[in-house]
Homo-oligomer: A and B are copies of this chain.
Amino acid sequence: MTDHTVAEVDAACVAAGRAAAEFGDLSAVPLAARAAFLRGIADRLDEAAGELIPLAAEETGLAPDRLTGEMARTTGQLRLFAGVVEDGGFLDIVIEDGDPALYRLNRPIGPVAVYAASNFPFAFSVAGGDTASALAAGCPVVVKAHPGHPRTSRRTAELVREALAKAPEGTFAMVEGFEAGRALVEHPAIKAAAFTGSTRGGRALFDLASGRPDPIPFYGELGSVNPVFVTPSAARERAEEIARGFAASFTSSSGQLCTKPGLLFLPAGHGLGEMLDGLTGEVTPHPLLTSGIQDAFAEGVAELAARPGVSLLAGRRPDGGDDPAPAVFSVPARDLTPELWEEHFGPATLIVEYDTDEELLDAAEAMPGSLTATVHAEPADDRLAGALLDKVRDRAGRVVFNGWPTGVAVTAAMHHGGPWPATTAPSHTSVGTTAIRRFLVPVVYQNVPARLLPAPLKGR
């Protein structure tokens, strides 16, 4: 672990501040050049995939197959943002040729601090979605590497630097270390921050960003419990399918996905315990991302198991060993307290058994902000499903029907966000093309003659 000093962070940020004016200036770096930089990063990652994937597998414990898919997503989203840049729609140009003549467009907000996540060493790390969308917006980036995969991070940073060799000096840098991360969000040259990680870590950085003499926007994606509400008709007609989908979803990447279904509501007497026990038994346990996550998981699950009404329904209760097996707990809906709505990052989940539709609706009403909420229902339950959807739409960024929340499409329609504690900024997404909006600021030119307008406004 190479911790960067505060002086090194300062140097990176000052350089990013200097680069900002040029990198964000469409005369100096036209949209086509900006797009080419993004494609250049993707190309270099593709070329180095054979080296990066085994490295990341070694550092994170994630399966090579999963990492291969993640790499494709990472290069895919870099190329997607290259297209967004070329399209130019993100500039959100509005022209009014009246008196006064008003010409508005978006400009980059300035240097962005990106805090890499542990659970996606490519897609939410050094060259992940935050970096891609910030560069697409025209912002220099200083990444704070995640300590869970330092070698993968360093190699990725090298590739990004190579791809940006002809960008203004300072357009990209990476720093490592806890104190470096703190100094980064407080640096005057940094104008926005993006973060994916724990509620605790995100809150601490959010507080620093908000407490600056000049507060900056902090886009944090934090904790999410992703409840799944199964109505009686769905449980009756598709019990096995639901059990299979659920087991696959909550154990995917050892339960270390931000969209892992953490609570599953089933009618009491669902009788799926045995089946879930079989399904979870088929899962090969693998180590969690870091020893910190391992410890927090064991501790959190021990707490969960000790709550009134909670019992182990299927799988094995984690014993603090290295490779925790999946565990399914259950609790009657009448014992559902706010503490049970907490996220457990790892392969554990909680089935809440309800007796009446009212209990189900009350639970939806009590649901905290979440990245996703899922409803399983057959047409016989349309009324109940409609009532559930009405409640969860105000509490989740994405509402899934008869499916599973894991797996997030990187597209224009995606919204990967939600009310606190899912995020610190509910109007914004960290996945999909509109993630670029986090790093844009409008500026309007009033009565400025065409010859002095920035390139995209000239000749409009």
Contact = CB atoms under 8 A, between A and B. Distances in A.
B394 A100 contact: no
A380 interface: no
A413 B454 contact: no
A393 B109 contact: no
The 5 A-B residue pairs with the shortest CB-CB distance, nearest first, are: A102-B413, A210-B210, A214-B420, A401-B448, A96-B413
B452 A401 contact: yes
Interface stretch (A51-59, A278-286, A339-347, A435-443): A435-443
A16 interface: no
Interface residues of A, number: 70
A389 interface: yes
A107 B394 contact: yes
Interface in A96-142: 96, 98, 100, 102-104, 107, 109-110
B425 A100 contact: no
A455 to B, nearest CB: 12
A343 to B, nearest CB: 15
B402 A447 contact: yes
Contact of A412 (B96, B443, B448): B96
A38 interface: no
A104 B413 contact: yes
B454 A424 contact: no
Nearest to A20: B394
Contacts of A454: 393
A417 B401 contact: no
Contacts of A451: 382
A446 interface: yes
Nearest to A24: B394
Contact of A444 (B20, B216, B415, B445): B415
Contacts of A434: 442
A429 B444 CA distance: 11
Given A102-B411, A452-B382, A442 B421 contact: no
Interface string A390-412: 10011011111111000001011
A372 to B, nearest CB: 8
Interface string A69-113: 000000000000000000000000011101010111001011000
B393 A449 contact: no
Interface in A3-26: 20-21, 24-25
Interface in A195-246: 206-207, 210-211, 214-217
A102 B424 contact: no
Given A397-B444, A403-B447, A441-B426, A415 B104 contact: yes
Contacts of A313: none
5 contacts: A102-B411, A217-B426, A386-B452, A427-B440, A427-B442
Given A215-B424, A385-B452, A443 B393 contact: yes
A308 to B, nearest CB: 24
A33 interface: no
A49 interface: no
A8 to B, nearest CB: 25
Given A393-B454, A413-B104, A446 B214 contact: no
Contacts of A25: 390
Nearest to A402: B447
A449 B21 contact: no
A275 interface: no
A53 to B, nearest CB: 26
A424 B412 CA distance: 28
Contact of A394 (B21, B103, B396, B424): B21
Given A217-B425, A403-B447, 10 more contacts: A98-B411, A102-B409, A210-B210, A215-B424, A398-B445, A398-B446, A400-B446, A414-B444, A415-B442, A427-B440
Contacts of A20: 394
